[in-house]
Amino acid sequence: MIYIEKKEEEKLVELWEKAKKDWGITPDSLLELVKHGVVYCEDYCNSREVCGSGACFCIREIFPSRDCYEVYLFLRELHLEGVEKELFFRILKGKINERKK
Number of domains in the chain: 1
- Is residue 1, in this structure, part of any structural domain at all? no
Question: What average pLDDT score do residues 59-81 get?
Answer: 88
CA angle 58, 21, 68 (to 5 degrees): 35
- Is residue 64, in this structure, part of any structural domain at all? yes
Q: Where are the alpha helices (DSSP H) in the chain?
A: 6-18, 27-36, 46-51, 57-62, 66-80, 85-100
Domain that holds residue 51: 6-100
- Predicted confidence at residue 37, as pLDDT, reads 93
| Confidence band, pLDDT 50/70/90 cuts, at residue 85 | low
**23-53 pLDDT, tens per residue?**
678 888 888 999 899 988 788 888 888 888 8
DSSP single-letter state for residue 20: T
DSSP single-letter state for residue 55: S
CA–CA gap between residue 46 and residue 32 (Å, rounded) = 27
- Predicted confidence at residue 1, as pLDDT, reads 44
- Is residue 46, in this structure, part of any structural domain at all? yes
